[in-house]
Amino acid sequence: MTASNQMASKPGDASRDTPRNQRADTLTDMMTGAPLGIICGSGTIPYAVADALMRRGQPVVLFPLRGWADAVAVKAYPHHWIALGQFGRFCRLAEAQRCRDLVLVGGLIRPSIMQLRLDWGTLMQLPQIIRSFRGGDDHLLSGVGRIFENAGFQVIGAHEVAPEITAPIGALGRLRPNAAFEEDISHGFALLAATSAFDVGQAAVISGHRVLAIEAAEGTDAMLDRITTMREAGRITLAAGVGVLVKAPKRRQDRRFDLPSIGPDTVARAARAGLAGIAVVARATIVAEPQRVVEIADRAGLFVVGRPDPEAPV
Amino acid sequence: MTASNQMASKPGDASRDTPRNQRADTLTDMMTGAPLGIICGSGTIPYAVADALMRRGQPVVLFPLRGWADAVAVKAYPHHWIALGQFGRFCRLAEAQRCRDLVLVGGLIRPSIMQLRLDWGTLMQLPQIIRSFRGGDDHLLSGVGRIFENAGFQVIGAHEVAPEITAPIGALGRLRPNAAFEEDISHGFALLAATSAFDVGQAAVISGHRVLAIEAAEGTDAMLDRITTMREAGRITLAAGVGVLVKAPKRRQDRRFDLPSIGPDTVARAARAGLAGIAVVARATIVAEPQRVVEIADRAGLFVVGRPDPEAPV
């Protein structure tokens, strides 16, 4: 699983996803001038979030996770490296910066408990950490989120502090799905709705009403590569340019912790797999490097569309 | 997908799955001495079915599918090679043998329509064949089954003519699942029940309530190998000897056409993937080479259990 865990801090319009954060008494960091903390996993999205915030004059401080975050990209921002499990060190660093609001964003492969380098702050939380390792990603990430909240931090979704990093409703590039692909998209979203109760399945590939692949722990990239492999092996024999990658957030999940994301590499892999396009849930899917996404999709002849969120308030 | 399509012909106690075959006027082939036809895909199961029938004095005639059936194994039985799509030729051969009852059994990868070598008999059925290529395996296989029935054949499940080839209730080998694995088994069966409405998902791997993999078009073998790969890549970091492979037939499907199956290779792959065991639905899962299944499972320390069928009549 790619735990593209999104959590973020946000002052003003916050929190339809996070009612417990609706505190009238806190127009927090943005008003006080304190930096917003971004705990960075892998990929480019943490820096897109940081840039969006800085464009609005919101200072940030990055906490790149050793082994996951991009050591070059992080240099452009105020930052302190931390290791997974160093919760005590993180708390001291954040306090020194007067940082109370947090976004957790970027790829994060589930670590083995044994691989964590535990300090005293973490050890104090150990029973809760161990509990959060049972069950799927959502369980793990919201467990981690609770640890931050118990320590007095406010955790907010990246999509809330930086809505411009999410997919809009409609086509991102030049192409639009035809009626047959629209059917596959609907079929795929219905499948993901059925599997999301099991804390699994943020993505699937559908072609002509047939489910070619469902994502579990392997992640979207490996699932797309499986389509390529099955085509090459003759296991699936479809014309190129059919089949749709569908991604959706799990139902009723805390979206601060695990929004799906796509990026240029997703489109390139979907093209290699011979798919017709990609459909995501608008405003609930992060698009990394949207301009490159559009360039690659247009060149390869794929559509990329955002569909209205079935869980959005009317 | 492995279209381990099971269909079979059966006279006496036939057909709780196949009410339309409950014809009081036909105590068919077994009484008439006419051979029962077995259309053979890949693997060893077609020959286990043939052996079970012959042990009871029921003559058989095999119709091995060129490109799928085992050319050596088939020599031990009366047989006529056929190619997928040669429906006209098949009808003539079956008629010459007075064969009316059919079992369709063995692995069968979905062919591209273009790869089929079509004859006139097939061409006459073409619109129906094309329709059956939309949707999942169940759709494809029941579509093919209908073509046989429209031509006057009676198609019966392999599990009905040869119940001894299916998993019993309880442990097949020495080991039994502990309470934690029982939880994973229940979680897995619930997941497969949710996905089966989408004509997908006869198998999944669960560990500690987490869904590690769901099978779609890639088949069980490739799904198990994915667990091995994810372990090696550190994408999942679990102790060896945890995780359960769960297989179940799709709900409300016509079981003459697509029962799940396991065999020695399934157990060997599950062992390589570091799993604790395998759970299947008793009487609704074919076990190829059961003695070797038990040997390999016992040696590798895996359990293999059959659970009562939630869809069985009370």
The single-letter DSSP state of residue B276 is S
Question: Alpha-carbon distance A92 to A125, whole Å?
Answer: 16
Which pLDDT belongs to residue B19? Answer: 39
Query: Residue B58: pLDDT band by 50, 70, 90 thresholds?
Result: very high
- Candidate from A65-69, B101-105, B197-201, B263-267 with smallest mean pLDDT: B197-201
For chain B positions 145-204, those within 8 Å of chain A (CB to CB) are 187, 190-191, 194-195, 197-201, 204
Is the predicted pLDDT of residue B28 greater than 70, yes or no? no
Q: How far is A79 from chain B (nearest CA, A)?
A: 27
Q: CB–CB of A210 and B217 under 8 A?
A: yes
CA Rg value for chain B: 19
Question: Alpha-carbon distance B251 to B310, whole Å?
Answer: 9
pLDDT (mean) for B32-40: 88
- Chain A neighbors of B236, CB-CB under 8 A: 110, 217
Higher pLDDT, B159 or A269: A269
- Following DSSP, what letter does each residue of B26-58 receive, concatenated? ---HHHHTPPEEEEE-BSSHHHHHHHHHHHTT-
| B130 near A CB under 8 A | no
Return the SS3 of B143: helix
Among the partner residues B135, B195, B230, nearest to A195 by beta-carbon distance: B195
Angle at B103 between CA B97 and CA B104, to 5 degrees: 115
Q: Which segment, A41-45, B58-62, B282-286, is predicted with the most confidence on average?
A: B58-62
| A115 near B CB under 8 A | yes
Which pLDDT belongs to residue B20? Answer: 38
Question: A178: which residues sit within 8 A by CB, 6+ positions away?
Answer: none
Question: B64: which residues sit within 8 A by CB, 6+ positions away?
Answer: B40, B46, B70, B71, B74, B79, B81, B82
Which pLDDT belongs to residue A28? Answer: 46
Among candidate residues B79, B86, B97, the one with its CA nearest the CA of residue B40: B79
Question: Alpha-carbon distance B304 to B296, whole Å?
Answer: 10
Which pLDDT belongs to residue A15? Answer: 37
Q: Which chain B residue has the Cα nearest residue A136?
A: B210
What is the pTM (predicted TM-score) of this model?
0.76
pLDDT (mean) for B147-168: 89
| B213 near A CB under 8 A | yes
Q: CB–CB of A230 and B218 under 8 A?
A: yes
| B230 near A CB under 8 A | yes
- Chain Cα centroid distance, residue B169: 18
Which pLDDT belongs to residue A104? Answer: 85
Q: CB–CB of A218 and B230 under 8 A?
A: yes
Where are any strands of DSSP class E within B254-302? 261-262, 277-281, 286-287
- Chain A neighbors of B112, CB-CB under 8 A: 237-238
Which pLDDT belongs to residue A266? Answer: 95
Q: CB–CB of B211 and A201 under 8 A?
A: yes
Among the partner residues B195, B204, B218, nearest to A213 by beta-carbon distance: B218
Question: Alpha-carbon distance B105 to B2, whole Å?
Answer: 11
Which pLDDT belongs to residue B104? Answer: 85
Return the SS3 of A131: helix
Which pLDDT belongs to residue B1? Answer: 35
Q: CB–CB of A218 and B198 under 8 A?
A: no
Q: How far is B192 from chain A (nearest CA, A)?
A: 9
Query: Residue B70: pLDDT band by 50, 70, 90 thresholds?
Result: very high
Higher pLDDT, B175 or B125: B175
Mutation for B interface: A184, A209, A210, most B CBs within 10 A = A210
Q: Please list the pLDDT of chain A residue by residue as tens digits (314 residues).
A: 333 433 333 333 333 343 333 333 333 445 568 999 998 888 888 999 999 999 999 999 999 988 778 999 999 999 999 876 677 888 999 999 999 999 988 876 555 544 555 555 655 555 565 555 555 555 556 667 777 888 889 989 888 999 999 999 999 999 999 999 999 999 999 999 999 888 776 899 999 888 999 999 888 999 999 999 998 887 777 778 899 999 998 877 777 777 888 999 999 999 999 999 999 999 999 998 999 999 999 999 999 999 998 777 65
- Chain B neighbors of A190, CB-CB under 8 A: 198
Q: What is the ipTM of this complex?
A: 0.71
Q: CB–CB of A211 and B216 under 8 A?
A: yes
Among the partner residues A195, A210, A217, nearest to B213 by beta-carbon distance: A217
Is there a contact between A195 and A211 (Cβ–Cβ < 8 Å)? no
For chain B positions 233-262, those within 8 Å of chain A (CB to CB) are 234-238
Return the SS3 of A71: coil
pLDDT tens for B108-117 read 655 554 455 5
| B300 near A CB under 8 A | no
Q: Which chain A residue has the Cα nearest residue B180?
A: A134
Side-chain half-sphere exposure of B71, counting CA atoms within 13 A:
2
| A214 near B CB under 8 A | yes
pLDDT (mean) for B267-277: 97
Token pair 């006139």: residue: B120
- Chain A neighbors of B217, CB-CB under 8 A: 210-213, 230, 235-236
Average pLDDT, chain B: 81
Query: Residue B202: pLDDT band by 50, 70, 90 thresholds?
Result: confident
